[in-house]
Amino acid sequence: MELDANTRCYCLRRVNPFLGVVAVVGTSDGRALTLDGRHWQIQVLARPRSGPWSRDQEPGAARYFNFGAWSPTAGLARVPLNPALDVESSLAASTALIAQVRLAAPNLPFAPAAELEQWLLDEDMRPLALIGTALIGDDTALAGREQHAAWNAGGRGDTRPFCSPTLTAQGIPERDDSGRRPHVETLERMIANAAGARRHTQWFRRDGAYALGLEQPAASGLSGRRLAQADFPPLTINTQWTHTATGRLVGEYIAWLSPYLLALPGLDEATRHDLEREAVRHATLVDAIWRLYPRVIDDRLLKQARVEASLRRAAA
């Protein structure tokens, strides 16, 4: 049995903060999303039926509704069905979608989707940090994005917020009594300072040898400019700093983020190997998302991390 001709399989980056990728299997009637390659969120595409209380008796615009969670071992766990949906058609759509997921899953990770990228710019108007993505052709996804010029390092409600060994050695706590995250806030402040007081952003379409800068009202004169692909930091944030303290903190952040960064395609072999050596320190996370890694340089390191994660689970 083969995938249907209309089934789409692709990966999207999760950005601001960067949290790896989400893999998507899409059909004409729904889509399935996974963050780890094993557990899938099942969504059906439907037009909500208008109720007798509605003046508009025509169905609304089609949108995705959460139908349940599925994994090969646990099967489908349905959530309470939205009363606006038709039970039979939603169940049929989810059954067909799961069949496609079963066929597609062995091919993980999927190829990355073609996306536009929104970058926070530094004071020289060069790409500083990736803060947004949008599928090419999805014009509605770009609406209202320009004003969001803050880069997010994570740490707000996260189970594993960024912790800097340098700041820890200086006596700065990872979390203070008020619940604030001083390590996260220090790094975000450094990136904001590098962006300058006006904090410009720009959307780019990156294909071929150059990236095309799209229209950007907040930064007049930048529309239509072309940048080389080498102008864009491969690890989603600039890692080349003349300011030693900022460079050290960003380096520690990259090490902390390494399990997620390994999900990026297109990294050169040396960079990927360096990330693998850092990622084994976060064995539980590596064990959770390794199926979405497009390439592994040192299989021994990956197996070492997965064994350690298994031992931790057994001891818990």
Q: What is the mean pLDDT of residues 57-78?
A: 86
Q: How confident is the model at residue 51 (pLDDT cuts 50, 70, 90)?
A: low
Q: What is the pLDDT of residue 177?
A: 79
pLDDT tens per residue across span 156-194: 555 678 999 999 999 999 888 787 899 999 999 999 999
Q: How far apart are CA 163 and CA 184, in angstroms?
A: 8
Q: Lowest-confidence range among 141-145, 150-154, 158-162? A: 141-145
Q: How far apart are CA 183 and CA 253, in angstroms?
A: 10
CA angle 314, 259, 304 (to 5 degrees): 45
Q: How far apart are CA 181 and CA 172, in angstroms?
A: 10
- Structure-model confidence comparison of residues 125 and 82, the more confident one: 125
Q: How far apart are CA 36 and CA 22, in angstroms?
A: 8
Exposed, middle or buried: residue 201 (CB in 10 Å: 0-12, 13-18, 19+)? Answer: buried
Q: How confident is the model at residue 280 (pLDDT cuts 50, 70, 90)?
A: very high
Residue 70's beta-bridge partner residues? Answer: 40, 76
Q: Rounded to two decimals, what is the model's pTM?
A: 0.91
Mean of the per-residue pLDDT values of the chain:
89
CA angle 5, 106, 138 (to 5 degrees): 50
Specify whether the CB–CB gap between 115 and 136 falls below 8 A. Answer: yes
- Tell me how far the alpha carbon of residue 16 is from its chain's centroid: 8
Q: What is the pLDDT of residue 149?
A: 76
pLDDT tens per residue across span 77-113: 999 887 777 888 999 999 999 999 999 999 999 999 9
Q: What is the mean pLDDT of residues 31-35?
A: 98
Q: What is the pLDDT of residue 54?
A: 47
